[in-house]
Structure formats: C-alpha cells, structure tokens
Chains A and B, each alone.
Chain A
Amino acid sequence: MTRRLRIGVLAPALLGLAGLFAWAIAGLPAFGDYRGPYGYVLNRIVVPLRHSTNVVMGTTFDVRGIDTMAEEFILYASVLGVTLLLRDEASAGRVERRTRRLRSDAVRLLGVVMVGGGLLVGLWLVAFGYITPGGGFPGGVVLAGAILLLYLVGSHRDYHPFRNEHVLDPFEGIGAGGYVVTGLAALASGMPFLANLFGHGQTGTLASAGSIGILNGAAGLAVAVAMLLLFAEFLETYVVPLEPEDAGS
C-alpha cells in the first residue's frame, strides 16, 4: 500500500475502534468506584498471612509469584535474544576501543559519589521492597545504572570486566534459575510450587515474609544482570563503530 492509502484505510479503522472504546467505557463503573473483590480481599489478608507490609510486593512475589517468574524469564529471553541478534555486530566491530577519560577530578569525584549513592539506593530498593515501595525490578535497574556510571566517569575499561558476558551469564542464570529452584524446593517438600517456605517473622522487618525476600533478591539479581548485559550489548554497538568499509557489509 502507498502511505496515503494506508492512512486512508487506517483512519476509519481507528475511528471504529474509538467508537467501540466509547461504548465499552460507558459500561465501566465511574472512576474511583472499584468494586473488587480481588484487590479488597488481598488488602485484607496478605499482611496478616505474609507479614509483608507492601501488599503489591506480596502480590508480585507470593500470591501471583508465577507471573513474576515468567516476567523474569521474559527479561532473560530478551537478553539472550539481543545477544543473539547483535552477535555479528559484536564480532565484526572489535576494531578499536575508544577511550574517553574525563579529565576533571571534580567530575570524577562527583561520579564516584553518584556510583556509590546509586549502588546504595539500588540495594536499599531491593532489600526493603516488600516493606516499603521498591522491589527487585527498580532496584535491579538502579544497580545496573550505577555500575554503568563507572563506565561513564572512568575510562570505559573500568567497565570492561562487567561487560564480559562470560562473567555475567552465570549470575543471570542464577537469578532467573534461583526463582525456579525456590519454587521447586517448595514442591519437593510436598507443598505447591512457589509456596512460601519459611517462617514469616516480624511484620515490617527485613526477615519478614519468608520466601518473598529470597524471590525478591533473585529478581533483583536477575534484573541487575539482565540490564547490565542489555546496556553492554547496546553500548558496545555505540562505542565500537565499524570501520566505514565494514559498515555496508
């Protein structure tokens, strides 16, 4: 189709969809009139049963933990996929590493502070995720970002050991696999898959919530490593430009 024809076909279709949306919305309860029951029930029972004050994390890592296991694997599969798809770029492009050192000590100091701060924030987010807002995913991304900052403030050789996927792959396997192993451990002890294995501790402390902590940690690790690998794959293609004559091949 030509672009004009495509827009001509698309516009009425989108109008039709808009009409259907309007019709559907007319049948929705007014904003703020959530009727439940699912959410209300969980808000009542998760804290007493699991001692996780953050019901969202309790839902993510316990009540609907299997969704999160699949989600970790989506990220894992995406990293594998990106590695697979960019493997030609990586092997063709190892010509020259551009090193850009930041000269100013003040900037580097600031960078070091930010790296340290980022690591702390990331760890804190992962660690306390099931008590206060946070959790494995944002914590993992912040951790990955902080480690990446090392690369930005220093020469990127500093980042090199982390960029080597042979170092990172086992961690990625451990993070995603750890989630499954926790689930299987419950199954092996005669409980349902992903059942909460340990005592539930004191509400509102780090030791509360049993397996939620382990799963949260596994997710944090998996996400941090996955994000680092993703960043590495994409930055690799950025900092290592192909020679012009290679570019077209």
Chain B
Amino acid sequence: MLATLVPLQAVVFSLVALGAPLVVLTRDPLRQALVNGIYGVTLVLLFVVLQAPDPALSMLVVSGIAYPLVILAAVARVRGERRSKETSDD
C-alpha cells in the first residue's frame, strides 16, 4: 500500500497534521505567530514533496515575510497599548 505514498511524503503529511492543532492551541498570539511560521515551513516542505515548486515559493514568502510582518506589527500594537494603559493607570 505504501507504494503510492512515499515515506518522505507520509512523514511530511504527518508533520502538517501535527502542526495544525499546535497552531490553533497556542493561544498567545506572539508565540502563535512563531508556531504558525513553523507550520508554514511544513506546508512548504509538503508542497515541495508534492512536486509543486511554485506554490512552495509563494507559501515560503507568505509564511516567511508577509504573515510575520503583519501579525507581529498587530501583536506589538495591541501589547504596546495595553502596557501603556497599565502604566497610565498606576
């Protein structure tokens, strides 16, 4: 049965399957951004083993550049403001 699914592919599929709940269960957005980056890398690997270099490249720039930048900026903003509010409350 394994003939159709190369072991390497099976491993990468399993990594992706493990990554998704980790992303969802990481409730702290900053940490989640990091976990999501790793999940993105597993998706890139998956695309590579599925012979899809173009989607892999797009996924790489998205999970390596686009998502981190906007997510980190949003997280920083939300946290920074909360901190400045807390200090002004004191």
- Residues of A near any B CB (own CB < 8 A): 30-33, 54, 56-57, 125, 133-135, 137-138, 141-142, 144-145, 148, 227, 230-231, 234-235, 237-238, 241-242, 244-245, 247-248
Q: Which residues of B contact A247 (CB under 8 A)?
A: 81, 84-85
B54 engages A57 (CB within 8 Å): yes
Q: Which residues of B contact A230 (CB under 8 A)?
A: 66, 70
Shortest CB distance B82–A (Å):
9
Chain B, interface residues (CB within 8 Å), range: 20 to 34
Q: Which residues of A contact B66 (CB under 8 A)?
A: 141, 227, 230
Q: Which residues of A contact B87 (CB under 8 A)?
A: 244
Shortest CB distance A222–B (Å):
14
A234 engages B4 (CB within 8 Å): no
Docked CA distance A138–B44 (Å):
13
- Which of these, A33, A148, A238, contacts B4 with CB under 8 Å? A33
The residue in chain A whose Cβ has the minimal distance to the Cβ of B80 is A241
A138 engages B69 (CB within 8 Å): no
- Which of these, B5, B53, B88, contacts A31 with CB under 8 Å? B5
B81 engages A133 (CB within 8 Å): no
Q: Which residues of A contact B77 (CB under 8 A)?
A: 234, 237-238, 241
A234 engages B69 (CB within 8 Å): yes
**What are the 6 A-B residue pairs with the smallest beta carbon separation, nearest first?**
A234-B73, A133-B53, A141-B61, A244-B88, A145-B65, A238-B73
Q: Tell yes or no: B26 within 8 A of A by CB.
A: no
- Which of these, B4, B74, B88, contacts A32 with CB under 8 Å? B4
Map CB proximity to A onto B55-66 as digits: 1 under 8 Å, 0 otherwise: 011101110011
Q: Which residues of B contact A57 (CB under 8 A)?
A: 54
